[in-house]
Amino acid sequence: MNTVIYLRLGVGNLWLHPTRTGLTLLALVIGIGALGFLSAMMNGMMTNMKSNFVLNEMGHLQIHAKGFEQQRKIELHLNNTETIDAMLAQTPAVRAWSHRLRVSGMASAAGSSATALISGIEAEQESRVSRLREFLVQGAWLRPTQLRDAVLGKVLAERLRLDIGDKLVLMAVAPDGDVMSEVFRLRGTIASGAMEMDNTTVLINLKAAQAWMNLGAGVTDVVIRCRSFADVNPLAQQLRQQLDGHDVEVLRWMDIDPMAEQWTRFNDAYSWVIMAVVMIVILAEVLNTMLMSMHDRLHELGLMAALGTSQGAMFAMVIWETLVLVTLGGVLGFALGYAFTAWYAVHGIDLSRYAEAFSFMYIEPVVYPAMEWQQTLHMMGAALSGACLAGMYPAWQASRLDPVQAMRE
């Protein structure tokens, strides 16, 4: 019964000075709400970046001949993919896969020329693995039966002064060292927003690329799309074990471009830094409120000590006040943050004025925040833990009061 009384006193004491408590509560609600919304916004941006980076062209996983990704030499190609295809067909974590033949070369037309990254792709299967077809802004997509079709990045086509239907010449070095050239006709242009893709991409049919480079059925990449990002690491490990001894390499998207992985790690670190800063400010406010409250109630606390209230009970009462204050502020704050997140998750945050900078990082200019409950629980736990720490000093002071001196105050 005494414990219940002390708990009730702890709650009641918060409202002895409603203005001060209300202002502290308001600071908690705004601070924690802003923290939750900022975290959701960063999650939305990073999820968007990873999805775009992977689905624009990269794929979740790629299988190459050993050493190809590092050296980018076409002679390091896969002659036969039947074993790999059969393996992927029996793997539930694989959503789709396609074959590509990549080679660096030159594209020229009407007296203009430019370096190009030429990719022979499977026109229909590619749509199940990447978003390349979705980026089509002019003309039409590749036709599987028309081996002279070509789709170019929009910027590259403009540099070459090409219109739909115009001819262009592609040149590249074949595995035997000969410079091979072939004539294609512009079928369409794509605009992904990623500068590298729009400036250098040339897409042709895989069979046309194989015949041009005299590779038969050879390919340089088997590009795999997983069912989710959670499947990437387990599937990579599984494929490496199954293909051990086949002289191939299985690379995850972050292995191919570590910079994208660095961005995701930076997001995590940034979120924790922001959370720490906001928590320090919030808990400083809580500590200030509790110290002022204790100072105003010295006579009351001294009287309680004189009447026989134990040091432990005094300590628990002040800690309870702190926990109630922070818990109430945390719940209301996260409710506020969730409300903003839910609204903008549907309508999005339009950052079109920064579209060029975002496209460089594979982020779409309209950001949709996404709140992760695991991270929310971590922040709530950090707030409560910090509240206990913030309340320790006032509670310790309250439990160590000299009754006579406190009653004189």
pLDDT tens-place string over residues 136-186: 999 999 998 899 999 999 999 999 999 999 999 999 998 888 889 999 999
Same domain, 199 and 222: yes
Is there a domain that residue 371 lies in? yes
- Closest of 298, 332, 338, 342 to residue 318, by C-alpha: 298
Same domain, 86 and 170: yes
At position 274, the amino acid (one-letter code) is I
At position 147, the amino acid (one-letter code) is L
Exposed e or buried b per residue across 162-186, where buried means at least 16 C-beta atoms within 10 angstroms of its C-beta: beeeeebebebbebeeeebebebeb
Is there a domain that residue 96 lies in? yes
254 to each of 207, 244, 251, 258, 336, how far by Cα in Å?
A: 29, 21, 8, 5, 35
Q: Which residue would you say has higher pLDDT here, 344 or 317?
A: 344
Token duo for residue 67: 């050493």
Is there a domain that residue 347 lies in? yes
Same domain, 214 and 278: no
> Which of 208, 223, 246 lies at the terminal end of a domain, its last residue?
246
Question: If you count them, how many residues does the chain have?
Answer: 409
Q: How high is the pLDDT of residue 295?
A: 73
Is there a domain that residue 255 lies in? no
Domain count for the chain, please give it: 2
> Which of 214, 246, 278 lies at the terminal end of a domain, its last residue?
246
Is there a domain that residue 253 lies in? no
Is there a domain that residue 182 lies in? yes
Question: Mean pLDDT in the chain?
Answer: 82
Token duo for residue 254: 């972050």
Same domain, 221 and 76: yes
Same domain, 265 and 300: yes
Same domain, 131 and 271: no
pLDDT tens-place string over residues 55-99: 777 889 999 999 888 888 888 889 888 989 999 999 999 999 999
Residue 72, C-beta contacts closer than 8 angstroms, at least 6 positions apart: 102, 104
Q: Which residue would you say has higher pLDDT here, 123 or 50?
A: 123
Q: Using only C-alpha atoms, what is the Rg of the chain?
A: 31
Same domain, 119 and 168: yes
Same domain, 41 and 90: no
Same domain, 189 and 303: no
* d(C-alpha 305, C-alpha 52), whole Å: 64
Same domain, 311 and 193: no
Same domain, 239 and 274: no
Q: How high is the pLDDT of residue 90?
A: 92
Is there a domain that residue 59 lies in? no
Kindly give the pairing relationship between strand 149-153 and strand 179-190.
Answer: parallel
Band of pLDDT at residue 1, cut at 50, 70 and 90: very low
* Single pTM value for the model: 0.70
Q: How high is the pLDDT of residue 87?
A: 92
Is there a domain that residue 80 lies in? yes
Same domain, 83 and 45: no
Name residue 170's beta-bridge partners. 107, 182
At position 229, the amino acid (one-letter code) is F
Q: What percent of the chain has pLDDT over 90?
A: 32
Q: Which residue would you say has higher pLDDT here, 405 or 189?
A: 189
Q: What percent of the chain has pLDDT over 70?
A: 87
Residue 6 contacts residue 316 (beta carbons within 8 Å): yes
Domain with 329, as residue range(s), is 2-53+261-408
- Closest of 118, 202, 195, 136 to residue 362, by C-alpha: 195
* d(C-alpha 292, C-alpha 20), whole Å: 9
> Which of 216, 246, 276 lies at the terminal end of a domain, its last residue?
246
* d(C-alpha 204, C-alpha 150), whole Å: 5
363 to each of 136, 143, 350, 358, how far by Cα in Å?
A: 18, 30, 12, 5
